[in-house]
Chain A
Amino acid sequence: MTLGPQPDNAMLPHRVVMSARHMPGYAYGVRSPIWWGTVGFAVAEGMGFAIAAAMYLYLVFVNGNWPLSAPPPDLLWSGLFSVVLIASIWPNQLAKRDGEREDLAKTRRNLVIMSLFGVALLVIRVFEFGTLHVRWDQNAYGSVVWLLLGLHTLHLLTDLGDTIVLTVLMFTRHGHGKRFSDVGDNAFYWYFVVASWLPIYTILYWLPRWW
């Protein structure tokens, strides 16, 4: 068998067997590549949450007594945060649905509501940080509490930023077509922010009380 250069650089001739002319220009959910990218980032970041939570449980296990020389964090602001966060599922679902219907007016309204939810949650979160009863540099318990809450806040912030940019975008002349698919993906990411909070909330606020 002789393998080697083909200096004539001849390309294979084409034989057309199908046409893409009538295929749609974009679609929603699993049909859209961006949706898969969002899932990919949610998985990687979810893994980050899982590892931070595992650190927390590991430290509980090696220390035995928990929390270390501090009372458990308060339930008021964290409870309010959780309630508001869960309530945000409803407008988020609307945002996704109206986006898929390509209804511009409703999408604008929903995105404004979601941005306001994000801002409100961020304000509550600031108060939540104030009622932890422990600083990050007090002991390993304080460090890991701030790590988990900080990590979740980072996600809250990035999704809020994303939502605000998208909201502004939908009020400009760019608000049509494929952008409606982006609205759906933004809503999907918000679900991730909500879903990741519930185990973190349980670990941070209830595990120290049950331990």
Chain B
Amino acid sequence: MPMPADEIETLIRDGIPDARVEIVDLAGDGDHYEARVISESFRGEPRVKQHQRVYAALGGRMGNELHALKLSTIVPD
């Protein structure tokens, strides 16, 4: 079931308030996205933990409504 990009962005920002979020609709079908999440709060955290925090912000949608999300977490320079 497709999910609009701005909804993904809003959820991530609600969960990680300082995050800068860039969403790309990879296939133009509202179902295959890439998200780049840039947050100072990731500093010092292992990648698994960073991704888990984004998935937590998405509140169980990942792997369900949100079928394919390629995720990159980035610590700002």
User: Are A and B interaction partners?
Assistant: no
Residues of chain A touching chain B, judged by Cβ–Cβ distance below 8 Å, are none
Residues of chain B touching chain A, judged by Cβ–Cβ distance below 8 Å, are none
